[in-house]
């Protein structure tokens, strides 16, 4: 059974990082309602939840995926690319104790979980504004000891690698045009996300289910053509803070 670490947003989520201009107004109460729907969808897909309390000290703390990279029995605790997020890892590290063997990205390198795409035993690490080559090297060295392979990919736009492509399982990759034809993904069944639905490229594969942002009918239909069932959830408050479906849970 899959387990997901989740953490609802606090009132401080109104001050979450956003690259959008003009800066959108974030409604924490609405975000909490949407997070409840998200958690219910995870449970509908058979996922067991470890629910952490909201942390008002860290406005972006609901985006727990960024706090660690998990591969087999190993959890590599991230080091954030922005100083205001340092410290979010502590509660997640504690939640993972007893479940995984822990390692950490060492300063000055940075690595965020949203830049790591796992396809079986292969990991792709996006080199972005949040993850640097030092972070890639450290996670590569750790994961290779566990029998995995790790490759770098440049992130041409968006916050993280997973902003533009996510693996749904069963050989199916969801991707925008920027990623769909990369040689690294040869042999996969690539579901192209229409340009006008690019936010939907960040979807969460959960076995026979795919948790998808609400309001993207073309992407949903293309996923269902692969025999997968979509669970649509409203995530527009999290989109204002550049977050998506994968960002709100840390799966293992």
What is 3-251's CATH topology?
Answer: 3.75.10
160 is catalytic: yes
pLDDT tens string 146-186: 999 999 999 999 999 999 999 999 999 999 999 999 999 99
The pLDDT score that the predictor gives to residue 9 is 98
The domain spans of the chain are: 3-251
Of the residues 35, 62, 165, 247, which is catalytic?
247
Mean pLDDT of the chain: 97
Of the residues 35, 62, 160, 165, which is catalytic?
160
The pLDDT score that the predictor gives to residue 90 is 97
The pLDDT score that the predictor gives to residue 37 is 98
The pLDDT score that the predictor gives to residue 6 is 98
Contact 71, 97 (CB under 8 A): no
The pLDDT score that the predictor gives to residue 240 is 98
35 is catalytic: no
Contact 18, 24 (CB under 8 A): yes
Contact 238, 18 (CB under 8 A): no
Residues of the chain with pLDDT under 70: none
pLDDT tens string 223-245: 999 999 999 999 999 999 999 99
Q: What are phi and psi of 16, to 5 degrees?
A: -60, 155
**Continuous H helices in 123-231:** 133-145, 177-180, 217-224
pTM summary value: 0.96
The pLDDT score that the predictor gives to residue 234 is 98
Report d(CA 113, CA 6) in Å as an integer: 14
Helix (H, G, I), strand (E, B) or coil at 60: coil
The pLDDT score that the predictor gives to residue 24 is 97
């Amino acid at each position: 059974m899959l387990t997901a670490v989740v953490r609802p947003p606090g009132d401080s989520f109104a001050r979450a990082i956003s690259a959008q201009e003009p800066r959108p107004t974030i409604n924490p109460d609405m975000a909490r309602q949407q997070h409840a729907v998200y958690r219910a969808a995870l449970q509908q897909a058979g996922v067991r939840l470890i629910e952490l309390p909201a942390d008002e000290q860290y406005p972006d703390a609901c985006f727990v995926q960024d706090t660690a990279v998990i591969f087999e029995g190993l959890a590599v605790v991230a080091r954030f690319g922005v100083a205001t997020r340092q410290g979010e890892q502590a509660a997640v590290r504690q939640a993972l104790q007893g479940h995984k063997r822990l390692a950490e990205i060492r300063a000055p390198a940075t690595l965020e979980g949203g830049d790591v795409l796992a396809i079986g035993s292969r990991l792709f690490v996006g080199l972005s504004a949040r993850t640097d080559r030092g972070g890639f090297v450290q996670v590569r060295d750790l994961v290779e000891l566990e029998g995995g392979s790790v490759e770098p990919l440049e992130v041409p736009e968006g916050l993280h690698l997973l902003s533009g492509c996510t693996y749904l399982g069963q050989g199916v990759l969801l991707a925008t045009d920027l990623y769909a034809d990369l040689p690294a993904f040869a042999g996969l069944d690539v579901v192209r996300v229409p340009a006008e639905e690019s936010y939907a490229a960040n979807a969460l594969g959960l076995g026979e289910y795919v948790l998808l942002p609400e309001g993207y009918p073309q992407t949903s239909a293309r996923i269902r053509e692969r025999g997968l069932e979509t669970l649509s959830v409203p995530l527009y408050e999290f989109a204002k803070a550049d977050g998506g479906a994968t960002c709100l849970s840390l799966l293992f």
